[in-house]
Amino acid sequence: MDEARPARMSAADASSAHDMEVVMNVGSASSQSPIAELTRLAVAARTAKHAEQQATSPAVQALQLENVKAIAAGKIDTYA
């Protein structure tokens, strides 16, 4: 049987998945000009770098942990 997977992806995982999709789409896109292609590649690279920085940021990880603790303690209404 497959390993258990979490029901939801974390924000970092979702962002990384989106970045990979963007990079794959950039590689397969037929552009009108080389400048447009280079611009799309630059944006994809910057987006991937930003996601990597956020995913490894201790401050972001600490904030996510505090949110999980607050939700578990019932301090945050997730149904609002």
All residues at 6 or more sequence positions from 9 whose CB lies less than 8 Å from its CB, including other chains: 17
Q: What is the pLDDT of residues 49-72, one digit of tens each?
A: 888 777 767 887 888 889 888 888
78 domain-assigned:
no
53 domain-assigned:
yes
Q: Domain total for the chain?
A: 1
68 domain-assigned:
yes
The parent domain of residue 41 ranges over: 11-72
Burial class (CB in 10 A: 0-12, 13-18, 19+), 64: middle
CA distances from 62 to 33, 43, 72, 77 (A): 44, 28, 15, 20
5 domain-assigned:
no
Q: Is the Cβ–Cβ distance between 54 and 16 less than 8 Å?
A: no
Per-residue pLDDT of the chain (80 residues; tens, 9 = 90+): 444 544 455 555 656 666 656 555 555 555 578 898 888 899 999 988 888 777 767 887 888 889 888 888 877 766 76
Residue with tokens 């997730």: 78
2 domain-assigned:
no
